[in-house]
A and B are shown apart, each in its own frame.
Chain A
Amino acid sequence: MPGAFWCIVEDDRQGNPKKVMAEVLGEAARLTGQAGGQAEAVWLTDKATPEGVKQLGEFGAKRVWVLENAALATYRGEVWTPLLADLAAKESPQAILAPVTTRQRELMARLAARLGAGLSADSTALALEEGKLVATRPVYAGKLLSKVTWSKTPWLVTLRPNVFRPAEPQAGASPQVEKPAVSMPTEAMKLVERKEEAATGLPELAEAEIVVSGGRGLKGPENFVILEDLAKVVGAAVGASRAAVDAGWRPHRFQIGQTGRTISPKLYMGFGISGAIQHLAGMRTSKVICAVNKDPEAPIFKIADYGIVGDLFEVVPLLTAEFKKLLEK
Chain B
Amino acid sequence: MKILVMVKQVPDTATQVKVGSDPRAIDTAGVTWIVSPYDEFAVEEALRIKEKRGQGEVVTVSLGPDRVKEALRSCLAMGADRAIHLLDPAWDGADTLATSRALAAVIKQEAPGLALFGRQAIDDDMGSVGAQVAELLGWPCASWIMEEAVDDGGKTIRVGRQVEGGLEIFDLPLPAVVSAQKGLNEPRYPTLKGIMGAKKKEIKDVKAADLGIAPDAPGLSVVKLEALPPRPPGRIIPGEAAAAVKELVRALREDAKAI
A interface, CB within 8 angstroms of B: 74-75, 77-78, 81, 101-103, 105-110, 112-114, 116-122, 134, 137-152, 188-197, 204, 206, 210, 234, 252-253, 255, 258-260, 262, 266-267, 277-278, 281, 284, 287-290, 296, 301-311, 314-315, 318-319, 322-323, 326-327
Contact with A along B208-223 (1 / 0, CB 8 A): 0000000001111111
Complex CA gap A253/B158 in Å reads 20
- What are 30 A-B contacts defined by CB distance under 8 Å? A77-B131, A77-B135, A78-B138, A101-B163, A107-B131, A108-B128, A109-B127, A109-B128, A110-B132, A113-B133, A118-B218, A134-B223, A143-B227, A144-B225, A144-B226, A145-B226, A146-B124, A146-B225, A148-B220, A191-B169, A191-B170, A210-B259, A259-B38, A267-B252, A306-B235, A306-B251, A306-B252, A314-B241, A318-B241, A322-B249
Is B134 positioned at the interface, with any CB of A under 8 Å from its CB? yes
A124 to B201: give the CA distance in the assembly, Å. Answer: 43
Asked if B13 and A110 sit within 8 Å, CB to CB, the answer is no
- Asked if B11 CB lies within 8 Å of chain A CBs, one says yes
Q: Which B residues, 85 to 106, have Cβ-Cβ distances below 8 Å to chain A?
A: 95-97, 100
Contacts of B259 in A (CB 8 A): 210, 234, 267, 323, 326-327
Contact across chains for A116 and B219 when beta carbons are under 8 A apart? yes
Closest to B183 in A: A252
**Interface residue? B204 (CB, 8 A):** no
The verdict on A105 contacting B252 (CB below 8 Å), with A259-B182, A310-B244 known, is no
A residues less than 8 Å from B241 (CB atoms)? 308, 310-311, 314-315, 318
Q: Enumerate chain A residues within 8 angstroms of B54, measured Cβ to Cβ.
A: none
Q: Which of A74, A116, A141 has the most CB of B within 10 A?
A: A141
Contacting A at CB under 8 A, from B51-68, are none
Q: How big is chain B's contact interface, by range?
A: 35 or more
Q: Which residues of A contact B97 (CB under 8 A)?
A: 112-113, 116, 118-119
| 20 more CB-based (< 8 A) A-B contacts, given A197-B167, A252-B181 | A77-B135, A105-B127, A106-B131, A113-B135, A118-B95, A119-B219, A121-B125, A145-B228, A188-B140, A188-B172, A192-B169, A195-B160, A267-B252, A278-B13, A288-B252, A302-B234, A303-B231, A304-B234, A305-B235, A305-B256
> What is the bound-complex CA distance between A302 and B38, given in angstroms?
28
Q: Does B196 contact A (CB under 8 A)?
A: no
Q: Are A308 and B135 in contact (CB under 8 A)?
A: no
B167 / chain A contacts, CB cutoff of 8 Å: 194-195, 197
Q: Are A308 and B158 within 8 A (Cβ)?
A: no
Among A114, A288, A314, contact of B135 (Cβ-Cβ < 8 Å): A114
In the complex, whether B246 has a CB less than 8 A from a CB of chain A is yes
| Contact assessment for A110 and B237 in the assembled complex, using a CB-CB cutoff below 8 Å | no
* Contact between chains at A260 and B182 (CB < 8 Å): yes
What is the interface of chain B, defined by CB distance below 8 A to chain A? 11, 13-14, 17, 19, 26, 37-38, 95-97, 100, 122-136, 138, 140-144, 158, 160-173, 181-183, 217-228, 231-232, 234-237, 241-242, 244-246, 248-249, 251-253, 256, 258-259
CB nearest to B11 among chain A residues: A140
- B127: which A residues are within 8 A, CB to CB? 105, 109, 121-122
Distance (whole angstroms) from the CB of A253 to the closest CB of chain B = 7
A328 to chain B, nearest CB (A): 13
Contacts A105-B127, A288-B252 given; indicate if A118 touches B219 (C-beta within 8 A).
Answer: yes
Which 7 pairs, one residue from A and one from B, show the smallest C-beta to C-beta distance? A118-B220, A118-B219, A109-B128, A113-B132, A109-B131, A113-B135, A267-B258
A144 near B227: Cβ-Cβ < 8 Å: yes
How far apart sit A121 and B138, CA to CA, in the bound complex (Å)? 22
Query: For residue B123, which residues in chain A have a CB less than 8 angstroms away from its CB?
Result: 139-140
In the bound complex, do residue B141 and residue A77 qualify as a contact, i.e. CB atoms below 8 Å apart?
A: yes
Asked whether A189 and B169 contact (CB < 8 A) given A149-B221, A150-B220, the answer is no
| A311 to B241 CA separation, bound complex (whole angstroms) | 8
Cα–Cα, bound, A315→B222 (Å): 45
